[in-house]
Amino acid sequence: MNAQQSSGPRGRPDFLLLILTLLLVGFGLVMVFSASSNYTLASDAFNRDPLYFTKRQLVWIAAGLFLLLVLMNIPYRRFKKGYVLFFIPAMILLALVPFIGEERNGARSWFGVGTLGIQPTEFAKLALIMYLGAVISKKDERFRDFKHGLLPVTLVIGFVCSLIMLQPDLGSAMVTALFAAVVLFAGGANMKHLAVLGLSAAVVITAFVSVSMLMNPGAWSYRIDRLTSYLNPLEDELGSGYHLVKSLEALGHGGLTGAGFGHSVQKLKYLPFPYNDFIFSVIAEEFGFIGSVIFLLTYLFFIWRGIIIALRCPDPYGTLVGIGIMSMIGIQAVINIGGVIGAIPITGVTLPLISYGGSSIIVTLAGIGLLLSISREYNRVARLEQEQLSRGVRPDAPRFGSAPVRRR
């Protein structure tokens, strides 16, 4: 990019993406209250406080929005080299958590900080996206070379996924592998190379899971039940199929128009984790099919807007990072919603921006902050083009959509 393009004040952030983000976060906070208030009010473990989870979520949202505003005002290109300062600590924490982390629901995925929990996996996802964007954009056409381009990057992805599987956290490992594959594809990787690596990864994962199951069968027993119960949840309605049965009952009770806000029945200690993994079931029960469709369309519009911002960025690094962030959010949302409606096995991942969870909301909002910083770049270029046209000068800035996604 020439000096003329790089000079001048930064452009405006994409306010449409910002507004959609705030709408989803606000709606998520309201649904966390609705899904958890009766549950905590009836429990001494939560001091009978109906706002127990809501207040905590509000603190996490405030921290996430602070990061969003900070990152939005930092030129995203600084992270092209500075990602190392985030990537290395994230990998260290990810490597330590299986051994010294707190065990919850059969997985060591959290570091306890007082009564709160930090999940390193969430931070590792964003760190991996920043790493992939920096390395792939730096390699440029050399990335299409298997030995010196694609293979080293894939080994890093495999290393990160292996650390996540050690916890074990199959859902997060699946999300990480899938959004990393999307970034590799967007970066111009050869399809044959990707197919070979995909088959190789499947073999390695199968072997890894088999060994892990032999060494620690207890940690895997309920995960296997989750993966198999969705085929016929009524076969073990009070056992392995309980989560899915209660989720489907919530969807059925919602009907077309819903039971009304706050009137969900399944959240009253029938549906496990209604404020977290199964929050979409509560949304569907209280707002019905019509409300669920409106919510999903809004969420899809949010994903679409983020992808448009990434594709309009004139810089390869910005495009790859933007695609990685929106792929992470979109894939995780599909896996969460697909699980609670019985389309795919339940994996235990949260619904980004909606579910209760501190690490998830902070990392998601930080990623959106990076995306808003990217949007300021293409808005700046658009302003410069407009100024050049008004002076009768032919603009020499890259055209929108000329992002670096290389054709095969």
Peptide bond into 168 cis (omega under 30): yes
Q: What are phi and psi of 113, to 5 degrees?
A: -125, 90
Centroid of chain to Cα 36: 22
Residue 341: exposure state from Cβ atoms within 10 A (0-12, 13-18, ≥19): middle
If DSSP codes are grouped into helix, strand and coil, which group holds residue 12? coil
- Report, as ranges of residue numbers, the positions in the chain whose pLDDT lies below 50: 1-7, 397-408
User: In what helix (H) or strand (E) does residue 113 lie, and over which residues does it extend?
Assistant: strand 107-113
Where helices occur in 42-73 by DSSP H, the ranges are 52-72
Residues 201-210 pLDDT 10s: 778 777 777 7
The whole-angstrom separation of Cα 81 and Cα 334 is 32
The mean predicted confidence, pLDDT, of the chain is 84
219: Cβ contacts below 8 Å, ≥ 6 apart: 106, 107, 168, 212
The whole-angstrom distance between residue 47's C-alpha and the CA centroid of its chain comes to 32
The alpha-carbon radius of gyration of the chain (Å, integer) is 22
Integer CA distances (angstroms), 386 to 274, 380, 381, 392, in order: 50, 10, 9, 10
Let me know: does 285 contact 266? Beta carbons within 8 Å: yes
Three-class SS state of 250: helix
Residue 360 φ/ψ region, left for φ over 0, alpha for ψ in the -120 to 50 degree band, beta for the rest:
alpha
Neighbours of 19 (CB within 10 A): 12
Quote the tokens at residue 103.
Answer: 């065990």
How many Å apart are CA 5 and CA 315, to the nearest integer?
Answer: 12
Predicted model pTM:
0.87
pLDDT at 335: 94
3-state secondary structure of 32: helix
CA distance 351 to 277: 7
Q: Starting at the edge strand that comes first in sequence, how are the strands of the sheet with 107-113 ordered?
A: 102-104, 107-113, 116-118
* Cα within 13 Å of Cα(177), Cβ side: 22
Residue 333: per-residue pLDDT: 95
